[in-house]
Structure 1
Amino acid sequence: MTETEGRRVLVVDDDERIRALVERALREAGFETRTAGDGRDALAIAWERQVDLVVLDIGLPTVDGLDVLHRLRADSQIPVILLTGRAGETDRVVGLELGADDYVVKPFSPRELVARVRTILRRSRGGDHFKIVYGQLVIDLDAREVSLHGAPVELAAKELDLLVCLASAPRIVLSRRKLLQSVWHDTSGWTSESTVTEHVYRLRNKIEEDPRKPRWIRTVRGAGYRFEPREAQR
């Protein structure tokens, strides 16, 4: 059985085009999907039919997405990824405080969203530590440890979070703004894109054989950064 086989994802968004886009990307990745266009239908499906994860838009008719999240969290720990098109950080912060596992800001890359779904579902399985493994680079998410060629790599908390974010979306270009949103959540004091540049510099000095010619974390000029994997081991 593959890691996606039999895994069911509920996609909730009142925009039919976005639902179709996300559903198609998930199905191509091997997931089973259900969809809902409003909060009431989403709750009915989540409660009556077992699903493994919910992709949930914040701005929904009938029942707001944050209210849906609050009701789900009342009796369930099902993983939830929030979708938001709102520019401010308030809803994202509230969503995370209510128990959301992650959030994605519109417009978004369907491939990045699928990568985040995979990561969260792996993390929620329990049992053995979930590890991201690319050749000799091993990232143990549960233990929050990194090793390279069998030797431990000491990373600061945000350096590790940044590496996980990049490694969870291999070959996908992530802008500095996107990395700020995903790793620092645009919190006060961490709104400068130079924060990302500095942390990438530190990270490269710790995991790259030659930081001046990075192998793992590539710069895409004018766009951001891309994690370039060696042969993935799953």
Structure 2
Amino acid sequence: PETERLARQAVLDVLDSIELPDDSFAQRERQVALLEQQVELTAEEEETEFSAVLARKLGLLGGQKEKGDFWKYGWRGRWARLAVGLLVLALLLGVWKVMVISSAKSISGSVDYWTPPEMVFVEGGTFMMGCTAEQEGYCLENEIPDHQVLVSDFSIGKYEVTFEEYDHFCEVTGREKPDDAGWGRGRRPVIDVSWEDATAYAEWLSGETGRRFRLPTEAEWEYAARGGKLSRGYI
């Protein structure tokens, strides 16, 4: 059912935000697949307190042995229990999530959630922007010659904007969702977005969070991609 799919996705999204030593996309995909197996409930477990079952299963997966009265509360709706369980899980594991329970009164309820982007501070400095003479054959005309650029301090998103995040923006603003070209949506980086639409997303995000967001300049993006002051000279 759609309710079950949304609830399970909420579980995976909370856990997906936990830092792993290997943050490659393939590793994250494998983690999600394993989590899906752990969250599956047997017929016998369906009759028990759902939050307690979820806590035990996730504890087996991540070595967490969370305890407390939160898990003992009895709720009538299965997904109402899941909604509270997710919130408690996020708090106990130290995962900062902004979660809004839109309806958790019955099995027909659903869980909505929204998370502000995680930012990384980049200390400003100077770097050689563009392509060197040796790289000219691989560069566009407007990328040569390389030249020194001064960049001020700024913060940039730690991760690329996902389809999930951008689709939510489209839904609340009435915009048309971009095509995924068959690659899939969800947690994958969003594609097929124009500069105008990306700017609109940043402006919307600013209004939602009360913080100022904008697209990075070309110099800021290249500086960050090169590693800032720790640059090895390539992207």
Flag the structure with larger Rg.
Answer: 2
Structure number with the higher strand fraction is 1
TM-score by length of 1: 0.30
TM-score by length of 2: 0.30
Structure number with the higher helix fraction is 2
